[in-house]
Amino acid sequence: MKFKNPLKSLRRRRFTVPAAIAGALAMTVFAATPASAMYIDYSPGEIGSGWDFNDVCRPGTVCVWDSLIVMGNSVPEGRYSDYGTYVIGVNRGDHTIWNNQFGDDRVQLCHDIAGTDCPVTLHPDQAAHGSIAEYWSIKLLP
């Protein structure tokens, strides 16, 4: 029985062994990179000179940015002002969600799209920073 060299098939497909190993290693490193853990504070980030967060996220609104810390005068990718549940499941990675509502209005981060499993609540002026990968919707409540 003759031994077949498995590397010949890689060479036939114009792959090299170092490239195949480098690709596999890169995918392992990429897959193992964790997203940022979520934390809550009272600021969406650092606003640019001459700007106010109310300029880009008007009072009475919940805003979602696709960055861990909002810098400058970046425009939110989502603005929500009516009570109810909104699907945000297409957003992945690090985000900032700021509750810029009034009084006792709050926003909940929910694990499902129906807004029924909501373990995180943000009160007015609170911001959540970090990975929203496990949250599929937000629910605005009076």
- pLDDT of 50: 64
Q: Which residues of 12-43 are buried (b: 16+ CB within 10 A; e: fewer)?
A: eeeeeeeeeeeeeeeeeeeeeeeeeebeeeee
Q: How far apart are CA 124 and CA 85, in angstroms?
A: 17
Q: Look up the pTM and report it.
A: 0.70
Predicted local distance difference test score (pLDDT) of residue 66: 87
Per-residue confidence in pLDDT tens, the chain, 142 aa: 555 555 454 444 444 444 444 444 444 333 334 556 888 988 887 766 666 777 788 899 999 998 887 776 788 889 999 999 999 876 678 899 999 999 999 999 999 999 999 999 999 999 999 988 889 999 999 9
- pLDDT for residue 31: 37
CA 70 to each of CA 5, 52, 75: distance values in angstroms, whole numbers, following the listed order: 54, 12, 9
**How high is the pLDDT of residue 1?**
52
The H or E element that residue 111 is part of is none
CATH of 39-141, one of 1.10.1060.10, 2.60.20.30, 3.10.290.10, 2.40.50.140: 2.60.20.30
